[in-house]
Structure formats: C-alpha cells, structure tokens
C-alpha cells in the first residue's frame, strides 16, 4: 500500500486449469490458499511456554512467562491477572534494517494483540499476578501480527494457562481487485486492502480486526468469511501441534 519506488510486479496471473480460468498469485497460490504453515510448540528452555509459527517465510517466536508476581506491585490487580504484551520485530527481519527501538506501529500492535488475548485467558484464575507474552518477529514476509497472535496463544497453552479457546489469526487482502487469503509482503506492498483478523475459532468470536485499505460492503463480508475459513484451517494445525508435543512427552515418559 505504501507503494515502493520499484515497478509493480504482476501479482495475479490468469491461467487455464481444467478448462477453467483461475487467478494465480505471485507465489503460485490460489486466492483462497494459505501459505505452508509450520507450528512447533515448546521450543524455548527458559520460558514457561513457547511456540514458533511460520506462515511461509514469515517466522515468529512467542514466549510466555507467568503467571508470576506482578512488578512493580502497584500494577497488580486484586481480582485478576494483568497481561503484559510485547510485539517486536527483530532489526534483521525486514528488507531495510528496522530500528530495535519500539516504533509507533509496534506500540499499536502490542495493544491490539493484548486486547485480543484478554478475552480468552481466564485472568480471574490468577489474581495479583502478571502473565507476560513476548513475540519476536524473526523474519517478516507479511501477516506478522496474525502469525504472532497464533504463536502467542500456543505459548499460553504451552505454559498451562487456562484459556477459553486458542486464538488463530490470518490476514486477507485485496490484490488487483481479487480477495486473497494470507497476504504476503509483495502483495501487501501493492494491495488495495489488508485486513488482519484473529478469532477464537470454536467460540466464533472475533478478537482482532483491522482494515488498512478500502473495501466495499460486499467485499468486506466476503473477506471476513474468507478469513474465518483460513482461521479454522490454522486452528486445526494449532491443535495438532499441541497434541504432538504431549504425545512426545507421553512416549518419552512411558517408553
């Protein structure tokens, strides 16, 4: 959207496939196709919970510390845990080096991600404590905030923190007039719209919703539906990754 000085690449090609004309994206995906997603849970030794999530080349690491004593004391709440949340991009994660100091963008994203997590974490079970969620974008190729929230909810689950549901996120974009799922960086640079969405999939609740760009009412309805479908797919992968970790634990202790 910012538009770069370079010439705009062809983002959508039309191909004949089985007698039908289909739109093919710059990375070969169909409009409603996710990138290859890889999820790994419990990747860090020190954290109480952690997860690594990859959406194509986008790679985000999340770690959870807590529930632990809230410091300074005055920030603690008597009836619930507070959530402290940081979304941060590594300086080397982007095309041009990103300053390690928090930018206005990171401040905003830390806020919307925290607010999304607040409604799934059963904070009332851990009064006077702090649950700290740290997300580091190691490599950025579009959709980093949604990958970050997917990773954060897995890290919370891995830390054994009680939750109403997992959270899965994905961004839908409008590229050359076509709605595409799981927008990547090149597409985002020239997109007419980029809409990150995160949901609690089994509760059918929307926890994060932003729209950068312009959509008609009809397009918005379709884009939200497309996001929901993508989120349900990612949710399956999340549960698989969590189960896989416990299967490993089980076999290692009994076997």
Partner 1 sequence: MIAMSITPSFQPVMPKLKRYTMETLLARGVRLDGRRLDEIRNIEIVPGYVEKAEGSALVRLGHTVVLVGVKTDIVAPFPDTPNEGVLVVHAEFVPLASPTFEPGPPDENAIELARVIDRSLREIRAVALDKLVLEPGKHVWRVFVDIYVLNHDGNLFDASMLGSMAALLVTRLPTPVKTEEGYRVDRTKYTMMLPINHKVVSVTLAKISGKLLVDPTYEEEQVADTRLVVAVSDDGRIAGMQKTGMGSLDYKEVLTAVSIALNKAKTYLNKLEEVVVPYRAKLEEELSKQKKEAEETAPPPPVPRREHLEAETIEQPEVVEGAVAEEEEGKEPE
Residues 46-85 that bind partner 1 (CB under 8 A): 74-77, 80, 82-85
Question: Using CA atoms, how far apart are residues 186 and 195, in angstroms rounded to an integer?
Answer: 15
Within 10 Å of residue 157's Cβ, how many Cβ atoms? 24
Specify the residue, 37 or 223, whose C-beta has the smaller distance to partner 1.
Answer: 223
Specify the residue, 115 or 248, whose C-beta has the smaller distance to partner 1.
Answer: 115
Least distance (Å) from partner 1 to the CB of residue 38? 27
Question: Using CA atoms, how far apart are residues 62 and 132, in angstroms rounded to an integer?
Answer: 10
Segment near partner 1 (CB under 8 A), from 137-145, 150-158, 202-210, 235-243?
Answer: 202-210
For residues 234 and 149, the answer to whether their CB atoms sit within 8 Å is no
Among 44, 128, 210, 237, binds partner 1 (CB under 8 A): 210
Assess 156 for contact with partner 1 (CB under 8 A): no
Segment near partner 1 (CB under 8 A), from 12-20, 21-29, 150-158, 210-218?
Answer: 210-218
For residues 53 and 38, the answer to whether their CB atoms sit within 8 Å is yes
Specify the residue, 34 or 77, whose C-beta has the smaller distance to partner 1.
Answer: 77
Question: Using CA atoms, how far apart are residues 47 and 208, in angstroms rounded to an integer?
Answer: 25
Q: Write out the residues near partner 1 by the rule CB under 8 A.
A: 1-5, 74-77, 80, 82-86, 101-102, 104-105, 107-108, 110-115, 118-119, 123, 193, 195, 199-200, 203-217, 220-221, 224, 228
């Amino acid at each position: 959207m910012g538009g770069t000085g370079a010439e705009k690449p062809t983002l959508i090609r039309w191909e004949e496939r089985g007698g039908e004309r289909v739109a093919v994206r710059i990375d070969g995906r169909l409009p409603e196709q996710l990138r290859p997603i890889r999820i790994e849970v419990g990747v860090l030794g020190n954290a109480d919970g952690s997860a690594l999530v990859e959406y194509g080349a986008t790679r985000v690491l999340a770690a959870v510390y807590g529930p632990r004593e809230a410091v300074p004391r005055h920030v603690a709440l008597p009836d619930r845990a507070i959530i402290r949340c940081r979304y941060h991009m590594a300086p080397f994660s982007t095309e041009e080096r990103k300053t390690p100091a928090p930018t206005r963008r990171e401040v905003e994203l830390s806020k919307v991600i925290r607010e999304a997590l607040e409604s799934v974490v059963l904070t009332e079970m851990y009064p006077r404590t702090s649950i700290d969620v740290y997300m580091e974008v190691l490599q950025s190729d579009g959709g980093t905030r949604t990958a970050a929230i997917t990773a954060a909810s897995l890290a919370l689950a891995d830390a054994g923190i009680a939750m109403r549901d997992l959270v899965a996120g994905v961004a839908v974009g409008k590229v050359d007039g076509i709605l595409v799922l799981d927008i990547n960086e090149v597409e985002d640079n020239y997109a007419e719209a980029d809409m990150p969405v995160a949901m609690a999939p089994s509760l059918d609740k929307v926890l994060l919703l932003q729209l950068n760009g312009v959509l008609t009412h009809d397009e918005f309805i379709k884009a939200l539906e497309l996001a929901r479908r993508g989120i349900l797919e990612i949710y399956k992968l999340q549960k698989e990754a969590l189960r896989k970790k416990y299967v490993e634990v089980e076999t290692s202790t009994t076997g």
